[in-house]
Amino acid sequence: MTAMAERVTINADMRAVIESARLCFAATVTPEGRPNLSPKGTIRVWDDTHLFFLDIASPGTRANLERTPWMEINVVDQISRRGYRFYGRAELHLEGSALYGDAMRRLYEGAAPEWQPVAVVLLAVERAAPLLSPAYWRVPDETAIREMWRPRREELDKAFEAHVTRAGPVRVDHTSDSK
């Protein structure tokens, strides 16, 4: 793990948001100094000061972290319209390492993964900040936000499903994936 730097403790509320969302967006920096934002569907809490996700098909994220290990991860519960941004130094752990094996056991509990991850990305959380929708300025509390957004989420799902029916589902040829 990384050299000792100041760390943020991942509290119960942060854990609850991560567990409910299961999707995050990880920001890294390209060689040209540009932002790279990539969705990650395996975000989990490693321990009280670390988060992790699997690099299943993220050669750009991996290359960026090999060069510049700083990363920000945003996790937002869509219905509550709140979440957290986590910032810190990331490490890559490749297949064969103890941490990689432990991460695979934590996520798959002995079952074979559908796709073999290239690496485990472990983030030492040095800074965390809440993300809140401006809707919280107008609505009394989180319960009201959830009540307001559930029907809207259903409408959005129906609209997207109608689009898929019209346009057809996206199909990806996995035989051309690059690592």
pLDDT in tens, 37-71: 999 999 999 999 999 999 999 999 999 999 999 99
**Whole-angstrom distance, CA of residue 99 vs CA of residue 119:** 10
Instruction: Give the H/E segment covering residue 51.
Output: strand 50-55
The pLDDT of residue 174 = 66
Edge-to-edge order in the sheet of strand 44-47: 35-40, 24-29, 70-77, 82-94, 119-132, 50-55, 44-47
The pLDDT of residue 7 = 87
The pLDDT of residue 175 = 63
Give the three-class secondary structure for 1. Answer: coil
Average pLDDT, the chain: 92
pTM: 0.89
The pLDDT of residue 178 = 45
Where does the chain have alpha helices with state H? 12-21, 59-67, 98-108, 142-167
CA atoms within 13 A on the CB side of 62: 16
**Whole-angstrom distance, CA of residue 178 vs CA of residue 175:** 9
Residue 119's nearest CA partner among 153, 96, 89, 146 is 96
